[in-house]
A and B are shown apart, each in its own frame.
Chain A
């Protein structure tokens, strides 16, 4: 074997071993699942950036409603603008800029609030209101059927409260489970 060939084989072996060892090291702590982006609702500060920082023109972040936490209030902080003239579905009274939050009567004095996902733009205005005056049952989540799962989430990049986390697909949502005072 001449010198050149010996060197070449040596380099090849070295490259093979180093690639394999990096692979081995990474594989031993690998996750047998894919990671997706999600918002930790307890960290979210409702800054409103989710609405227009997503790479999609319609953000993958939308509001979800945890009905179990909802107080079904007549005067809903998430639905009505502060000092609303009347507590009805008049456009001037609504906080949501796209009328994505629907208010329906359940029984006196309770009202049900539903989100029309197609209309929601993830601006977090209702979330802020609900957090400030209500139970915080409205909160933002990354809708996994819309999210492109970018390697670097462009909203996570600008999130001021570090609320974006990578979660495994089998726990793809971080729905609120209770009121954190």
Chain B
């Protein structure tokens, strides 16, 4: 009776396991006679979630302190030491991930694909700097951002670069942001993380190419202030939009500007707008503005069309598309799989027709995505034209809210400040 019961149980267990996909082991578990008991597998645990909460807390604290010390206390010293703390804590101690810049991709992917859930830290790191910027300007860039802080401390003798070069290089962040989002939502790659020049320093481990890139940027940053912030950073694009309409912003002078011109060369990132003296609005100006305004849809369509022509090479960034191309080629010329991916694909038991279908779907996503990316870039191009043709009424020296990173250098150039201080 008992035997039948046991057989039934074991049969049930066997059924259960085979239903789960687990077959019997090749070699059954040995019956040890010496009383030996197989040990449990030991694995070191991950850092607890409390560490992430500490990160969030310090992040909020730093953002508040930076905003307070820049806008209220007008302290450059705090920007330096706060920045050093940020580099040490978020950089060397927490080793760089996740950062606000990279979080763009996670957020974009989560917005596009709702099955991709985000941890709280990623949401906070992405959104809080935007909120703070909306109220106080880009105080995040001043030094909460470890990239900003790192580049801030290496500035040695900043030179002015010509405005056409600045404008041309200033287009890179828009391109970078657009394509980073395109590659993130299609699941192809996180290019912001891949081409992160500084994270390797924090980990004392990087590829030679990225090391050279990082060192090159820091060396360049001695003379061209904050090259990553101004000419690469995709998050800076978002911050600059928000900052332009910020509720409060730092001012160069604590009281009234006396137009002494002493701060004119103070800004290393060229974010001081000079008074537009003796300049009257051009009479043709309004007509030109309307003309550009009407042209914006044309730019959008044009850019969209051009970008969408490149959807196939763009889609090759996606590993699945690359794999499909390889499998198709190998089928055509009838050879053995060459790459590790192809070998793994063959052993996975997936049908190649399925793969081709999937790759085609990804290509279609890329086609649509590249159209949207192009439309967006065209829109940005139109806005930039509008911006440069707009007459700016300006009677005093003010920070250009979009590009000012709140480094607080200009404060001590102001004689009013010195007299008071």
Chain B residues within an 8 Å CB radius of A72: 30
Given contacts A19-B127, A179-B24, contact A34 B52 (CB under 8 A): yes
Q: Which residue of B lies closest to A11 (CB)?
A: B245
B418 contacts chain A at the CB level, 8 A cutoff: no
Choose among A64, A148, A157 the residue that contacts B189 (Cβ–Cβ < 8 A): A157
Residues of A26-60 whose CB lies within 8 A of B: 26-27, 29-36, 45, 47, 49, 55-57
Chain A residues within an 8 Å CB radius of B209: none
B43, B96, B103 — most chain A CB neighbours (10 Å): B43
Residues of B155-172 whose CB lies within 8 A of A: none
A3 contacts chain B at the CB level, 8 A cutoff: no
Question: Which range contains the number of A residues in contact with the other chain?
Answer: 35 or more
B208 contacts chain A at the CB level, 8 A cutoff: no
Question: Which range contains the number of B residues in contact with the other chain?
Answer: 35 or more
> What separation, in Å, do the CA atoms of A178 and B52 have in the docked complex?
33
B291 contacts chain A at the CB level, 8 A cutoff: no
B103, B114, B117 — most chain A CB neighbours (10 Å): B117
Choose among B117, B203, B341 the residue that contacts A148 (Cβ–Cβ < 8 A): B203
Chain A-chain B contacts (Cβ-Cβ < 8 Å), number: 182
Choose among B27, B121, B193, B343 the residue that contacts A150 (Cβ–Cβ < 8 A): B193
Given contacts A12-B247, A107-B34, contact A179 B26 (CB under 8 A): yes
Given contacts A29-B114, A160-B345, contact A107 B121 (CB under 8 A): no
List the one stretch of B3-11, B14-22, B79-87, B293-301 in contact with chain A: B14-22
> What separation, in Å, do the CA atoms of A8 and B246 have in the docked complex?
9
Q: Are A107 and B206 in contact (CB under 8 A)?
A: no
Interface of chain A: mostly helix, strand, loop or mixed: loop
A88 contacts chain B at the CB level, 8 A cutoff: no
B194 contacts chain A at the CB level, 8 A cutoff: yes
> What separation, in Å, do the CA atoms of A68 and B39 have in the docked complex?
8
A94 contacts chain B at the CB level, 8 A cutoff: no
Choose among B30, B119, B134, B344 the residue that contacts A33 (Cβ–Cβ < 8 A): B119
Q: Which residue of B lies closest to A154 (CB)?
A: B194
Chain A residues within an 8 Å CB radius of B25: 69, 71, 135, 178-179
A81 contacts chain B at the CB level, 8 A cutoff: no
Fill in one digit per residue for A100-113: 1 if any B CB lies within 8 Å of its CB, else 0: 00000011001000
> What separation, in Å, do the CA atoms of A56 and B96 have in the docked complex?
13
Q: Which residue of B lies closest to A36 (CB)?
A: B46
Given contacts A134-B27, A135-B26, contact A22 B111 (CB under 8 A): yes
Given contacts A66-B41, A135-B25, contact A35 B119 (CB under 8 A): yes
B348 contacts chain A at the CB level, 8 A cutoff: yes
Q: Which residue of A lies closest to B206 (CB)?
A: A55
A85 contacts chain B at the CB level, 8 A cutoff: no
B46, B199, B343, B347 — most chain A CB neighbours (10 Å): B46
Chain A residues within an 8 Å CB radius of B127: 19, 22-23, 26
Given contacts A33-B49, A160-B343, contact A26 B110 (CB under 8 A): yes
B95 contacts chain A at the CB level, 8 A cutoff: yes
Q: Are B43 and A71 in contact (CB under 8 A)?
A: no
Choose among B22, B40, B119, B130 the residue that contacts A34 (Cβ–Cβ < 8 A): B119
Chain A residues within an 8 Å CB radius of B106: 151
Q: Are B43 and A30 in contact (CB under 8 A)?
A: no
Residues of A70-115 whose CB lies within 8 A of B: 70-73, 106-107, 110
B237 contacts chain A at the CB level, 8 A cutoff: no
Choose among B51, B245, B339 the residue that contacts A12 (Cβ–Cβ < 8 A): B245
Q: Are B29 and A68 in contact (CB under 8 A)?
A: yes
Residues of B at the A interface (CB closer than 8 Å) are 17, 20-30, 32-34, 36, 38-41, 43-49, 51-52, 95-99, 102-103, 105-107, 110-111, 114, 117-121, 123, 127, 130-131, 134, 189-190, 193-194, 199-200, 203, 205-206, 241-242, 245-247, 319, 339-341, 343-345, 347-348
A31-B118, A173-B43 known, 16 other contacts, Cβ within 8 Å: A31-B120, A32-B49, A32-B120, A55-B205, A56-B203, A57-B205, A68-B38, A110-B32, A110-B36, A143-B43, A150-B193, A151-B103, A151-B105, A160-B343, A172-B45, A179-B22
Between-chain CB contacts (< 8 Å), 24 pairs? A19-B134, A22-B127, A26-B111, A30-B123, A31-B117, A34-B46, A34-B121, A45-B343, A45-B348, A55-B200, A56-B203, A67-B39, A69-B29, A70-B38, A71-B27, A110-B36, A147-B46, A152-B193, A154-B194, A157-B189, A157-B194, A160-B339, A160-B344, A175-B41
